[in-house]
Each structure stands twice: as C-alpha cells, then as structure tokens.
A and B are shown apart, each in its own frame.
Chain A
C-alpha cells in the first residue's frame, strides 16, 4: 500500500477529489495547511505597517491506496491540480506498513 500526500492549491480540491473517486479511490483526508516552496510569500500592509506573508494557504490531501492504484492516482492528481504556475504544489509517496478498518478490524488492502 502506498500513502500519497499531495499539497495542492486549495481551489483545485474539488476537481482532484472527484477525479480520484472516479478512478476508484475509496477515501482520503484533507487538511488546510500553510506552506511555501519556490512560490515566495507576498507583502501586505495593515494600518501602515508592512508585513510579509511567508506561508501560503494550501490543501493537503492524504490517501492510502493499493499498490496497483498508486500510479494512476498520482497521474490523476497531477492532471487535475496543475495550473502551470509556480505554487502548484508537491506530491510525496511513501509505503504504508499496515492499515486497519476500525469498525470491522479488517487489515491490509481490505481495510482501504
């Protein structure tokens, strides 16, 4: 099983979610995060005092998928979340050693 973490632009979330569900992903978790990479922050002012926004709001989705679905899921995320401009985000893939469904106790890919 692979865990796919993707930091994407928040307005892309619905598109990505729909597409992932369409290819058979059974669930995911979304968190609101702040981050930066090559996309630098920007300046704002408040009552005459300038301040820099270093961290930009993003959405992080976590999904754990069977190995067989991993590559397709990654391609789907790439296709739907890219805009071509700096700040599109990143995907990290890691291996998951165990998964358990709490309600039934199922383990492994059956838990996904």
Chain B
C-alpha cells in the first residue's frame, strides 16, 4: 500500500511535469536588450511593499541604456552568485544535522536534507512562486500561479514593468534569476524542519510535508510580507527572512515535533537524557558553511549590486554572527560549566537568524547587540524546550523559531531610517516610537498562528494517511537500517555501547 502511494505520487508529478513542458511554450519573457530610460545612479534597492514608493527617481537620462545594460548584468550576477551561496547552505544543514545525531540515522538525515531541495525546486516552480509573488489579493497571489507561466517582462522595472509579478518587479533582473533566488530561500525554510524531526520521522512523511510547506504554506506567508500582501501594506519589515524563512520553518518544525513526540530514551523519570551527536567535526564544518552561505542570504536580498547596502549588510551579518557565537559560548560556559561546542554552533546560527530581518536597517553596533542577545537567548531556549519535554535534536526550534522571532522584533527596536530611507523608519530605540514594533509583533502573531495551525493540520493528515513516526524497533535499530536498508559507516566497527567517549586513562 505504501509503495503504491509512492508510485502514484511520482506518476502524478510526472504528469504535471510533462504538462508543464507543453505549457512552457506559452511563457512570455522577452529579453529586453535595451532598457528604457531609468536613472543610472546607484540603485538603492528597497524591499518590496506596495505602499512605499520606489526610492529611485524615474527621471530620463541621456545615454543611459548602455549603463543600464551593465547594471542589469551586474545585478543578475549578484543575485545568482548569492543564490548559489544560499543553495550551498543545504550542505551546511546536512552536515550540522547529521553531526548532531547518532550514526545509525546518518543516511536518513543526509537523505532528507538532500532530497528536500529537489522537492523545493519542483513545488516552488509548480505553484509556490505564483502564490507568493503573483498579483492577487492581500492574502495570496492569484495570477501567474502555475509553472512560472505568468506574463512578465523582467528585467524591466518600475513603470516599464508589464507583468503579473509586480511585487518583485522592483528587482531589475530576469524572471528566472528572481525565481532561482527566491527558490533557494524557500528551500532553506524546508530544510529547517528536517533537523527538528530527525531520528524518528518516516522519510515519506517528511517528503510529503515538504511539498506542502514549499508549495503552499511558505508562499502564502511570503506573499503577506514580500509579495505585496497585507503585512507589507501594514508596515511590517523583514529584509531577508527572519520571519518569512526562519520562523516559518520553525513553526512548521514545532508543529511536527509536537505531533511526532520525543525520541525514545530522551526523557525518562523526570530526567533529560543526553543523546550525543556522533560527529562534531561535520557539525562544525556545516556551521561554517552556513556562516558563509549567510553572506549570500542577507546581502543577496538587495537583489541588486548596490555597493553601499551590500557592504553594510555583510558587516552587520558577520558581526551578529560573531557576537552570537561568543555570547552563546559564554552563556553555556557560565550556566552549564563548560563551553559546549553544540551550543556555540547554535549561538552562531542564532546570531545569523537574529540579524536576518534587520540586517539592512541597522547599524553595525546594533547588529552586535542583536547577535549577542540571540546568543544568550538560544542557550536558554535549548534548555527550555527540553524542560518542556519538546525534543529537538539539533536546536532548530531554538535557533530558527525563537531567534527568528527575536530578529523580527529587533527590526522594531533597532531600525534606523538613515540606513534605507523611507522603508522601516526609526525603531523604538532610535526615536521612532512603537509603530514599527507594533507592526512587527502583529506580523509575528499572524504568521505564527497561520503557519502553526496549517502545519499542524498538514502533519496530522499525513500522520493519518501515511503514518508519521517509525516503529520503536525501527527507531532503536536506526532509521538507516529500517528506512533505507543501508549503513552510513559500513566499515566502522559498530558500537553496542551507546555512550562512546575518547580518552584512554
């Protein structure tokens, strides 16, 4: 029965795939060689929001078309190169997650992180992009939904743009570049989930949920904030995705973890038992890959080679990362007695997630503070989830959900209008009052409620139809054996004593 379901699903998608090839003939995307007169001055790209006028002026300038061609080329190269960095974050996640988990589940965790990007690539192309960026109403896109098929004359922008993806028309790059860039972000949200549900979820169930997350849930939230939807109109800001990507992944993960339950042996007799990761080397390498990838994630979100902005965003990103790492290490050292490497890794990621929303809108000093606070928060969040008996093997909830919320709030506190004028305005700590913070909080509540409820429902349906969790025997023998019939380390002597530590004396 299970195999039948899998085959049927694959068959269905091949049908859609071939259908799409036929429909692809209809795609209209004229490559505009000459761009109409748009100011050639440095294009400070503003995050999309219908209510805010584009910061560049639409004055005609003589001999600008050659320069504009160069700008489009530069912006496109920037968008794609940063997208490649974000793509590579999938490798980072795979290494961190497998390192934090036991060797008997390594194949399964690597598989989930590997296949999830393929799932994202297809589902975001099929429907996700359209729901997120298609013209429509305040809640969802309704035009150009399927297979990237809506009318579009990117890279033309501003008044010259004619198409159904107006919310992202501010980015002067070809449609497919925009698509790929947004795709890797969607993929990041999906891969966040894989860590929290690791070591006990059925592979097919994760696959099924990922299609839903990237095809429907993520795009709807994305539409609200980046697709010209109601939160954008309200005045909520999220530059690179603390809410859109990280908290969405986090809420979806939380829902999954609650439906799934804790790993066998994690909590017993009122105690929290350690289940040590099997490879801190890969975990650390993965953390560094994620750090590098974030230099695509944050600065890339300008979607334009805007020299001043991208430089500032690189430094705010890195400063928050460093502060997060240091403060998490210190916190772990003080509270737990030793500097736990896993906590340091979570601290790095916490700082990065925390700065993701505010990165363009805050000063370097603010970014250090934001990262530092995230580093402290994440340590207590890890301990907190365990105290609530919510089992998260890699700290995904603590990093992405909790610090994603912190990053969103930080926009309301630390934003400075001078950074990107006429966008966020000033936050609470810079004389802007409570308005921005209020909008951020409203966004948090709305996104949280929607994402969590829909995700929980999806997980629940998947549980009814496909089953969610492997059997206890399968969990104990390891998912590599039961789900994949493979061993990740067939040459290594398998240890039957579960806590193996080095040291000869």
Contact = CB atoms under 8 A, between A and B. Distances in A.
Interface of A: 9-11, 32, 34, 44-51, 53-58, 83, 85, 87
A48 B383 contact: yes
Given A49-B386, A50-B274, A51-B274, A44 B501 contact: yes
Contact of A57 (B274, B336, B340, B502): B502
Contacts of A32: 493
A44 to B, nearest CB: 7
17 contacts: A34-B500, A44-B274, A44-B276, A45-B274, A46-B276, A46-B277, A46-B340, A47-B340, A47-B382, A48-B272, A49-B274, A51-B273, A53-B501, A54-B499, A57-B500, A58-B504, A83-B505
B503 interface: yes
Most chain B CB atoms below 10 A, which of A9, A47, A48: A47
Main SS of the interface on chain B? loop
Contacts of A85: 505
For the complex, would chain A's binding face be called helix, strand, loop or mixed by DSSP majority? strand
B504 A49 contact: no
Interface string B445-479: 00000000000000000000000000000000000
A46 B342 contact: yes
Nearest to B496: A34
B272 A49 contact: yes
Contacts, number: 61
Given A34-B497, A53-B501, 17 more contacts: A9-B505, A34-B500, A44-B499, A44-B501, A45-B274, A46-B274, A46-B275, A46-B342, A47-B395, A48-B386, A49-B273, A51-B276, A56-B503, A57-B503, A57-B504, A58-B504, A83-B505
A49 B382 CA distance: 10
Interface in B377-392: 382-383, 386
A50 B502 CA distance: 17
Which of A9, A10, A32, A57 has most B Cβ within 10 Å? A57
Contacts of B502: 57
B332 to A, nearest CB: 8
B342 to A, nearest CB: 5
Given A34-B497, A48-B272, A87 B340 contact: no
B162 interface: no
B96 interface: no
A13 to B, nearest CB: 9
A57 B500 CA distance: 8
Residue from B335, B337, B493, B503 whose CB has the most chain A CB atoms within 10 Å = B503
A55 to B, nearest CB: 6
A47 B504 contact: no
Interface in B479-504: 493, 497, 499-504
A38 to B, nearest CB: 14
Contacts of A11: 504-505
A34 to B, nearest CB: 5
B505 A87 contact: yes
B336 A48 contact: yes
Contact of B501 (A10, A47, A57, A83): A57
A10 B383 CA distance: 36
